[in-house]
Amino acid sequence: MQKPEENYDLEAYLSEYVETCPDKEIRILNAAINAFADKGFEATRTREIAERAGIAEGTIFRYFPSKNAILESMVPLLIRVLQPKIGKPIEDILNLNPDMPIDRILVAVLKDRLQMIRDNGRFIKSVLPSLIHRAPLLEQLRVSLLPLIEGYVVQVVERGKAHGELDESVDARLVMPQLFGFVLAYSITQSVDPEREARDVEQFVESLMVGWRKR
């Protein structure tokens, strides 16, 4: 039903975590996350998770009391994986270019975010839905990721004001849905054409800046 897209490899992102827990647990989580992404939680059979992990079905239940528990322990893991993916690139852009004008920063950040969504689209589109009917798990993700994003937006806006590039009236709380929304909506609606995307991002930032520049 679903094309067997390229797999994630959690282990690559979890070198420290691997040390503190048996690696078979990671193998199972890794297999499960990919299976859930392909078929969704309910439609994924424990047998298939075992096959993907290259172990026996029974072994799963040595490490997790139930199939549900796999999903539950997946959330903190995903937060761990996604937090640095969200934070690191923005920090790099900000720190490595202390004098970059604010519009170049915005362009760089937006391009990076679009790329990030493309890279992790399979997860974002496919594992999230498995959580949607489990409000507490979803909320866990929300509260650990949204403030992080918000924090970086505030940081960028503050810096722009400090450099005298942004008008004092610019409200970070409103900048957030604008940037976040552009990325989200652009990812959903536009097909991928790198050149055109670059132009669109430039133009979008340009139109934002017209309203935001220090008056």
Q: Which of 146, 194, 198, 214 forms a contact with its own copies (CB under 8 A)?
A: 146
- The region, left, alpha or beta by phi > 0 then psi within -120 to 50, assigned to residue 192 is beta
Question: Which two three-digit tokens encode residue 148?
Answer: 């992080």
Q: How far apart are CA 178 and CA 84, in angstroms?
A: 22
Q: How far apart are CA 139 and CA 169, in angstroms?
A: 32
Q: Is 189 in the site for its own copies (CB under 8 A)?
A: yes
CB of 75 to DNA, least distance (A): 17
Q: Which of 101, 129, 164, 194 forms a contact with its own copies (CB under 8 A)?
A: 129
Which partner from the list its own copies, DNA, none does 83 bind, CB cut-off 5 to 8 Å by kind? Answer: none
213: three-class secondary structure by DSSP: strand
Q: How far apart are CA 117 and CA 99, in angstroms?
A: 27
Q: Is 143 in the site for its own copies (CB under 8 A)?
A: no
Q: Is 211 in the site for its own copies (CB under 8 A)?
A: yes
Q: Is 135 in the site for its own copies (CB under 8 A)?
A: yes
Q: What are phi and psi of 166, to 5 degrees?
A: -105, 145
Which range of residues in 21-29, 45-53, 56-64, 125-133 is near its own copies by CB under 8 A? 125-133
Compare residues 42 and 91 and give the one whose CB is closer to its own copies: 42
CB of 105 to DNA, least distance (A): 46
Residue ranges in contact with DNA by CB under 7 A: 22, 24, 44-47, 55-59, 61-62, 65-68
- Residues 139 and 77 sit within 8 Å (Cβ to Cβ): no
CB of 85 to its own copies, least distance (A): 19
3-state helix, strand, coil in the chain (%, to 5): 80, 0, 20
Q: Is 97 in the site for its own copies (CB under 8 A)?
A: no
Q: How far apart are CA 138 and CA 132, in angstroms?
A: 6
Scan for tokens 């959330």, then name that residue.
75
CB of 1 to DNA, least distance (A): 13
Q: How far apart are CA 3 and CA 192, in angstroms?
A: 19
CB of 40 to its own copies, least distance (A): 5
The residues that touch its own copies, with contacts defined as CB under 8 A, are 1-2, 38-43, 125-126, 129, 132-135, 146, 150, 170-171, 173-174, 176-178, 180-186, 189-190, 200, 203-204, 206-212
